[in-house]
Each structure stands twice: as C-alpha cells, then as structure tokens.
Amino acid sequence: MSKHEVLYHEDFKAKQRSIVLLHGIFEPRFIEGLKTRLQETFYIMEGRPSLQAAQINCRRLNKIGITPTLICDNMAGFLFAKDLVKEVYIAYESSDEQGSYAAIGSLILAVLALRHQIPVKAVPMDPQPKVSAVAQDLAFFMGKRVAPKGVKTFVPTREFVSKKYYV
C-alpha cells in the first residue's frame, strides 16, 4: 500500500458521485419531499457545535424511511476529493438577489462544490428550533471539556454565501 492510499471502513461503499450532502436544519416539507428519493444516499453534516442538524435531520429522514449517514462537518472535503458527492443542499435563513445567509460551514461546502462542479441548492431553514451557540458549546463536547481553560473561542452560527455558488 502506498502512503497515499486510504483504508476505508468495511461498510464504506459509496460510489462515484452518489452522495447527496445535507447541511443545516431544513424545513420539514423539504425533508418530506425527499420521500421520492428513497434509493439515494444522503449524508448529513453533524452541525457542530450544537449538533442540532444531526439530531433533527436524522430523526426526520428516518421517519420517512431514509437511513442517512452522519458525518463530521470537516469530512466533506474528503468526500469531494474522492468524487463521491453528486449534489449539496444548504439550509438558509434569509436570501436576496446577492446570495443567502446560511448555516455556518455552508460557504466551504459551496466553494468545494464549485471547485468540483457539483450543484448546490439553497433550501429554506426550519425556523424552529432557534440555532444559537455560545463559546462553551465549542469548548465542550457531549458535556466533556475538549479545550483547555483559557482558550478563546469564536462561534458564529451563520455566514453569507454568494449566489455565484448556487445552481
């Protein structure tokens, strides 16, 4: 094995351009609309630091018969590099003719998608629950401190994504 080969978990069997990436917390009617796509492969970004996206989207997809795969937010780059992503859906809070304010992490997905010529679609964000984050959310994970005391944190919840990235 060369130093550039990657060993996959035995269950990882994704095919080229087969994954639909979902990022953010989507309105329930968008998730309901995915019922017609039961044979497709959906990956959900965890949505650190609150993990609300993982909890809500996984529950809603399971309810309509889709078993999603949950990934760490920063695993998306790997999926793009391996040419596994076929489309990206980003949940936005508000939009105008210049772009949208979307869940943090949306911009890097949009940049990667543009680079790999993958379509990005903006979908309204579920207004409930309210997504918020505080410094403590980043310094702790599942109730356990992961950053030493005294470390500064920066925890934005939204970012602007220019319309140039959307289909």
Q: What is the mean pLDDT of residues 126-135?
A: 73
19-165 maps to CATH 3.40.50.10470: yes
pLDDT tier for residue 1 given thresholds of 50, 70 and 90 = very low
What value does the mean pLDDT of the chain take? 88
First to last CA, the chain: 39
| Per-residue pLDDT tens over the stretch 43-67 | 999 888 788 899 999 999 999 999 9
Q: Which of 120, 123, 44, 68 is nearest to 91 (CA)?
A: 123
The region of weakest confidence among 5-9, 84-88, 110-114, 119-123 is: 5-9
pTM score, whole prediction: 0.87
- From 145, 143, 103, 98, select the one nearest 126 (Cα to Cα): 103
Domain extent listing, the chain: 19-165
